[in-house]
Amino acid sequence: MIIKLRMDVVMYRMRIAIFLSFACLISLFPQTTYYVSSSQGNDSNSGTSENSPWKTIGKLNSRSFNPGDNILFKRGDQWAGSELIIKNSGTSENRIIFSAYGNGKKPILTLKAEINKTWNQYNSEVWYITTPIQAIPIERMWFNDLEKEQAKSLTGDNWDGTFGICPEHPFYHNTSEGRLYVYSIMNPSTYYSTIEYQGGLLDEQIVEHTVQLVDADYVTLDGLDIQGGGYGALGLAGSDYSLIKNCNIGKYSSRAGIFANSSRISKLANDQTSDHGEISNCIIDSDWNYTLKFYTSLTPYGILIGFGASNWRINGNYIKDWWFGIYSGGAIGQVSLYHKIFSNEIESPNFSYGKGIQVYTWNDPETGVYVWSEIYNNYIHNIRGAGIALGSSGNKVYFNIIDSVTVSACPEKGDQDNTGMGIEIQHEDYNVTMDDNYIFNNTFYQLNRSALNWSYPFSFNNLFLNMQMVNPLNFVAISQSSALRDIKNNLFFKTGSSVSSYFVYLFDPSKGYTINGLNALGGTVSGNIYPEGHTLLQIMNSDFTLPNSSPALNSGIDISSFVPEGFTDRNGNVVNRTKPDIGAVQHFTGDTSPPTLVSGTLLDSTKLSLTFSEPLSSLGIATLLNYSVSDGVVVYSAELNANQTTIVLTTSPHTFGQNYSCSVYNLQDQSGNFLSTSNNSITYFSIFDRPSVGYVNKLTITKVTASNMDESPEKTIDGVYYSNGGEADSRWKATPLPQWLVYDLGAVKQISITRISFYGFQQNRIYNYSISVSKDSVNWIEIVKNAASSNQEWTVNIFNPVEAKYLKLEITGNNQNDWATVWETEIWGSSSVQAPIQIKPKVFLQGAYENGQMRNNLRGSTLIPLNQPYTSAPWHYNGYESVPTIPNDVVDWVLIELRSDISSAATAKRAAFVKKDGTIVDLDGQSPVNVYGISSGSYYLVIAHRNHLKIMSADKVALAESSALYDFTISPSKSYGNDLANLGEGKYGMYSGDADANGIVNVLDYGIVGNMLFQTGYLAGDLDLNGSANVLDYGKANQNLLKVSNVP
Query: 25 pLDDT exceeds 70?
Result: no
Amino acid at 242: S
Please state, in angstroms and rounded to a whole number, the distance separating the CA atoms of residues 979 and 997.
Answer: 16
Cα-based angle 46, 49, 52 (whole degrees, multiple of 5): 55
Query: 187 pLDDT exceeds 90?
Result: yes
Query: 436 pLDDT exceeds 50?
Result: yes
Please state, in angstroms and rounded to a whole number, the distance separating the CA atoms of residues 1012 and 996.
Answer: 13
**Over residues 922-928, mean pLDDT:** 90
Amino acid at 769: Y
Note the pLDDT tens digit of each residue in 746-769.
Answer: 998 988 889 899 999 989 999 999
Bridge partners, residue 461, by sequence: none
* Residue that wins the pLDDT comparison between 210 and 293: 210
* Residue that wins the pLDDT comparison between 298 and 572: 572
CB 994 within 8 A of CB 947: yes
Backbone angles phi, psi at 10, to 5 degrees: -60, -45
**Residue ranges, CATH 2.160.20.10, the chain:** 32-112+201-261+283-287
Amino acid at 534: H
Measured on CA atoms in the order 52, 57, 58, 64, is the torsion positive or negative?
Answer: positive
**Residue ranges, CATH 2.60.120.260, the chain:** 697-830
CB 45 within 8 A of CB 74: no
* Residue that wins the pLDDT comparison between 950 and 469: 950
In this prediction, residue 421 carries a pLDDT of: 86
Element (H, E) at 179: strand 179-183
Regarding the domain with residue range 32-112+201-261+283-287, which homologous superfamily does it belong to in the CATH classification? Answer: Single-stranded right-handed beta-helix, Pectin lyase-like (2.160.20.10)
Residues 345/351/356/357 CA torsion (nearest 10 deg): -130
Note the pLDDT tens digit of each residue in 333-347.
Answer: 678 889 999 999 999
Local structure of residue 4 (DSSP, 8 states): H
Note the pLDDT tens digit of each residue in 767-784.
Answer: 999 999 999 999 898 988
The residues, ordered by sequence, that sit 6+ positions from 63 with a Cβ below 8 Å of its Cβ are none
Least confident range from 632-646, 792-806, 814-828: namely 792-806
Note the pLDDT tens digit of each residue in 1003-1045.
Answer: 889 889 988 988 999 999 999 999 999 988 988 899 999 999 9
Query: 698 pLDDT exceeds 90?
Result: no
Q: Which of 676, 630, 669 is nearest to 651 (CA)?
A: 630
Query: 274 pLDDT exceeds 50?
Result: yes
Note the pLDDT tens digit of each residue in 938-990.
Answer: 999 999 999 999 999 999 999 998 899 999 999 999 999 988 999 999 999 99
Please state, in angstroms and rounded to a whole number, the distance separating the CA atoms of residues 531 and 272.
Answer: 53
Full strand arrangement of the beta sheet holding 512-513: 476-479, 504-506, 512-513
* Residue that wins the pLDDT comparison between 276 and 779: 276
CATH number of the domain located at residue range(s) 597-685 in this protein: 2.60.40.1220
Note the pLDDT tens digit of each residue in 236-269.
Answer: 999 999 999 999 999 999 889 999 987 778 778 7
CB 406 within 8 A of CB 597: no
Q: Is 144 left (phi over 0), alpha (psi -120 to 50) or beta?
A: left
How confident is residue 690, by pLDDT bands cut at 50, 70 and 90?
A: very low
CB 164 within 8 A of CB 259: no
Give the start-end residues of each E strand in 276-392.
278-280, 283-285, 301-306, 313-315, 318-320, 324-330, 340-342, 345-347, 354-361, 374-376, 379-391
Please state, in angstroms and rounded to a whole number, the distance separating the CA atoms of residues 204 and 200.
Answer: 10
Please state, in angstroms and rounded to a whole number, the distance separating the CA atoms of residues 714 and 702.
Answer: 10
CB 1034 within 8 A of CB 23: yes
In this prediction, residue 589 carries a pLDDT of: 58
Local structure of residue 60 (DSSP, 8 states): H
CB 1037 within 8 A of CB 14: no
Q: Packing angle between helix 1003-1011 and helix 1031-1039, nearest 10 degrees?
A: 170
> Cα–chain-centroid distance for residue 568?
20
* Residue that wins the pLDDT comparison between 112 and 297: 112
Note the pLDDT tens digit of each residue in 142-162.
Answer: 999 999 999 999 999 988 899
In this prediction, residue 369 carries a pLDDT of: 66
The residues, ordered by sequence, that sit 6+ positions from 931 with a Cβ below 8 Å of its Cβ are 692, 836, 837, 838, 839, 896, 898, 908, 910, 959
In the chain, the percentage of residues whose pLDDT exceeds 70 is: 89
In this prediction, residue 455 carries a pLDDT of: 57
Please state, in angstroms and rounded to a whole number, the distance separating the CA atoms of residues 730 and 332.
Answer: 82
Q: Packing angle between helix 1003-1011 and helix 2-25, nearest 10 degrees?
A: 40
Amino acid at 117: K
Highest mean pLDDT pick, 2-11, 297-306, 311-320, 632-641: 311-320
Q: Strand, coil or helix: what is 1018?
A: coil
Taking CA atoms, 23 is separated from 69, 386, 1042, 1043, in Å, by: 21, 58, 16, 19
**Residue ranges, CATH 2.60.40.1220, the chain:** 597-685
Please state, in angstroms and rounded to a whole number, the distance separating the CA atoms of residues 804 and 93.
Answer: 53
Please state, in angstroms and rounded to a whole number, the distance separating the CA atoms of residues 161 and 86.
Answer: 46
CB 344 within 8 A of CB 283: no
In this prediction, residue 606 carries a pLDDT of: 82
In this prediction, residue 292 carries a pLDDT of: 65
Burial class (CB in 10 A: 0-12, 13-18, 19+), 578: exposed
The class (CATH top level) of 697-830 is: mainly beta
Backbone angles phi, psi at 708, to 5 degrees: -135, 120
Query: 22 pLDDT exceeds 60?
Result: no
Burial class (CB in 10 A: 0-12, 13-18, 19+), 751: buried
Note the pLDDT tens digit of each residue in 887-919.
Answer: 999 999 999 999 988 877 787 888 999 999 999
Element (H, E) at 425: strand 421-425
CB 914 within 8 A of CB 894: yes
Q: Strand, coil or helix: what is 750?
A: strand
Query: 411 pLDDT exceeds 80?
Result: no
Note the pLDDT tens digit of each residue in 839-849.
Answer: 999 999 999 99
Please state, in angstroms and rounded to a whole number, the distance separating the CA atoms of residues 476 and 513.
Answer: 10
In this prediction, residue 649 carries a pLDDT of: 93
In this prediction, residue 836 carries a pLDDT of: 81
Decide the pairing of beta strands 697-698 and 820-830: antiparallel
Q: Which of 196, 232, 195 is nearest to 212 (CA)?
A: 232
Note the pLDDT tens digit of each residue in 987-1000.
Answer: 999 999 999 999 99
Q: What is the mean pLDDT of the chain?
A: 87
CB 821 within 8 A of CB 731: yes
Decide the pairing of beta strands 487-488 and 458-460: parallel
In this prediction, residue 578 carries a pLDDT of: 84
Read out DSSP for 572-631? SPBP-SSSPPSSSS----S--PPP-EEEEEEEETTEEEEEESS-B-STTTT-GGGEEEST
Backbone angles phi, psi at 589, to 5 degrees: -110, 170
In this prediction, residue 590 carries a pLDDT of: 58
In this prediction, residue 583 carries a pLDDT of: 97
Please count the other Cβ atoms lying within 10 Å of the Cβ belonging to residue 495.
Answer: 9
Q: Which of 228, 339, 194 is nearest to 275 (CA)?
A: 339
In this prediction, residue 723 carries a pLDDT of: 75
In the chain, the percentage of residues whose pLDDT exceeds 90 is: 60
In this prediction, residue 399 carries a pLDDT of: 98
Query: 24 pLDDT exceeds 60?
Result: no
Query: 824 pLDDT exceeds 80?
Result: yes
